Structure 1
Amino acid sequence: MKSLSDTILIIHIIAGVIALAVAPIAMVVKKGGQSHKRWGLIFFWSMTVIFVTALFLSTVKWIPFLLMISVFSYYSVFSAYRWKFQKKLHRGDTVKWYDWLAAIVNAIFNTTYVAWGIYLIFIDVQGAFPYLSIGFGTLGLLLSKKNIQLFLKPHEAQAWLYRHIGGMIGGFIAALTAFSSQVMGFLPTWLQWSWPSLIGVPLIYIFIVRLKRKIDQSKAVS
């Protein structure tokens, strides 16, 4: 079992390096072009490998944080990828059953983590994990909530685009957080966990706001 775990760990690390390397490329190349699609697809499948290997490692070695961050990051990326195929929900297209399933499973999983974090605080467990459990669990719940809301009432034609961008970058931020927590021990603990979000979340917000403004201006001109 140790040999198998070591092999899967190596695969996990290689996939992580690839994902962290190609994500910025997908972000900077022309959106919608072949390069963007190619690098984005490599990122998606790298994150898929990370997710599968993390499920194994976190279960066999019981690493709660790895399980939590892998589910959070992968649902973010998976849902972002799936939004590419749901561009016409506002015109009456139906949501696939596996998109519903993923959103519901993610919501249940993150509800469990929020409850667990609260319980750990209640029994006075020290350290950062209880608060991380509540924080990431809450973010995961909000992600499922927003997706389900759009499944039920897809009111905006460009909603898929905003969810695609936010989800892909959000998954990258989560993966970067996991990387930081493992290799940036020279930073204070709170900063190891927070700097990717402190930088990345405002950038997502600014980018999407500017994109919305650009799209609105384009509509006004036409």
Structure 2
Amino acid sequence: MKNIIQIILIIHIFSGAIALISGAIAIATQKGKVKHKKSGKIYAMAMLIVFVTGISIASYQFNRFLFLIAFLSYYSVFSGVRILELKKLHQGQNPQWYDWFAGIINFIANLAFVAIAIHYALKPETNVAGVLLSAGFGLGGMYLSYVNMKPFVKRPTHVAHWYTYHLGNMMGAYIATFTAFLSTMVTRFELMNPFIAFALPSLIGIPLLVYWTHKTEVKFKMK
């Protein structure tokens, strides 16, 4: 079994590297052009492999952090890709059953992590970092499901609604993936303070995401 897990780990690392590289290219290239679309497709496929292998490794090692990151990052990619097929939600287009299913499963998985955070918080010897990590990412994951399923019920009114959802989901997934990569490297090689490594991708990525989202809203006059 250990040999199988070792092979899965190699595939996981290799796919993660491809995801980081192709994702960076997709971010850097002009949106809607051939290079952006090709690198985006490679990124999405690589992230699917990262998700499957990550869940397998996390289940074997009982690694809650890897399990959570795998769910969060892939659900973001899934939603970011699916919204490209749901551009007419504002015209009454209906989502598929698996759009609902993915959102609900992601919500339940992250709800479980909030429950774990509460459980550990009530213990005499509390791991504060672990509690905050589980609660923060769990609540964030639940909110992500809410945000992505909301337009299925309360239909968007703007024709370019899909653009901000696509941008937010794909960037969010990349931030989560880079967080996992940097945290793993720091743990293994002690490159910097673990908390800084964990927070750095978000500190850089989230302001960029807010800036790009604002530019998009101004461009399409969505406000």
TM-score range, shorter chain: over 0.9
Instruction: Provide Cα deviations, 1:131-170, integer angstroms capped at 9, x if missing partner.
Output: 1111111111111111121111122322211010110010
Distance 1:24 1:57 in 2: 25
Partner of 2:102: 102
Stretches of structure 1 lacking an aligned partner (at least 5 in a row): 218-222
Partner of 1:147: 148
Partner of 1:27: 27
Q: Number of matched residues?
A: 218
The counterpart of 1:166, out of the listed 168, 175, 178, is 168
3-state SS of 1:125 partner: coil
Partner of 2:136: 135
Distance 1:79 1:129 in 2: 27
Note the aligned Cα RMSD (angstroms): 1.4
- Answer yes or no: is 1:196 the counterpart of 2:197: no
The one-letter code sitting in structure 1 at the alignment partner of 2:152 is: F
Distance 2:135 2:217 in 1: 31
TM-score by length of 1: 0.95
The one-letter code sitting in structure 2 at the alignment partner of 1:139 is: G
Runs of 4+ in 1 over 2 A off after TM superposition: none
The one-letter code sitting in structure 2 at the alignment partner of 1:59 is: S
Distance 2:62 2:118 in 1: 20
TM-score by length of 2: 0.94
Instruction: Provide Cα deviations, 1:64-121, integer angstroms capped at 9, x if missing partner.
Output: 1110110011101111111100000110110100000000111111111112112111
3-state SS of 1:32 partner: coil
The counterpart of 1:207, out of the listed 188, 205, 212, is 212
3-state SS of 1:167 partner: helix
Report if the CA contact (8 A) 2:121-2:128 is conserved: no
3-state SS of 2:85 partner: coil
The one-letter code sitting in structure 1 at the alignment partner of 2:84 is: K
Distance 1:19 1:46 in 2: 5
Identity value in percent? 38
Distance 1:191 1:114 in 2: 23
186-195 vs 39-48, which moves further? 186-195
